[in-house]
Structure formats: structure tokens, C-alpha cells
Amino acid sequence: MTDTANPEQDVAVEALNTLSGVTASSIEGLSEVHSQLTQVRRRRRRGWSWRRIISADDSPNPLAGVTAIAASLAIASAEFRRALAHALRKEGLQLIKIAPLLDVSRQRVGALLRPRRPSSPTS
């Protein structure tokens, strides 16, 4: 077992880079959501009804932004967790040792290491 690996062939590094990119774009997106929430709050304080706030043509939809950011982060973090589980297993760690490192159960580590089922094509 070695502490050094070839980063060009490291799937976990690729997943880490993807997660890092998603995190950076999430910061930008959350800044926009924060501005939208401020605008909604301002309108509500001015006495606008919730219906008017939500249905106004120029009204932002902060919930859509938060949902999209959360989904992107969930996907990227799951891919990193899966790649890291494979990398740790390849380094010889047992499932019971990997689980606390990833803050998941031993059973979850087993599921992460199982080959994925091919996704069904959509019509």
C-alpha cells in the first residue's frame, strides 16, 4: 500500500474536482438566491400579499434556485463518496473501516461498491 497514486488515473480526484466545481457554482447561485430572498422579504414588508409576490412577472423564485443547487450538490457529493469508497477499498481498507471515514453505515459502503445498474433509456 502506498500514499501516492497517479492523479491522472484517480477517479476519486476527478469526482473531487467535479464536487469542487459544483460547490463554487453553488456559492454563486446561493448569492443570487440570497438577493432574491431579500427582494421577496422587501415586498412582503411593503404589504404585498404572498399571491402577488409569487405571481408577479418580475418576482424571483428562490425556491427553484435552492432546489437546483441542493440537487447538484447531492449528485456531486454522492459521486465523490462512491469514488472515494472505491479508492479506499482499492487501498485495502475493509468496509467496516471505510464506513466511519465516509460517515455512513457498513451496509451503505457495500452498496456504494456494488456495480451500478445501467439506467433505463427514456423515450
Q: What are the percentages of helix, strand and coil residues in the chain, rounded to 5?
A: 70, 0, 30
Burial letters for 80-113: b for 16+ Cβ neighbours within 10 Å, e otherwise? bbbbbbbbbbeeebebeebbeebebeeebbeebe
pLDDT of residue 3: 56
DSSP state at residue 8: G
pLDDT of residue 121: 65
pTM (2 d.p.): 0.78
pLDDT of residue 57: 86
Length of the chain: 123
pLDDT of residue 6: 63
Cell of 110: 457495500
The pLDDT averaged over each successive group of 10 residues in the chain (123 residues) is 61 96 95 94 95 88 93 97 96 95 95 83 60
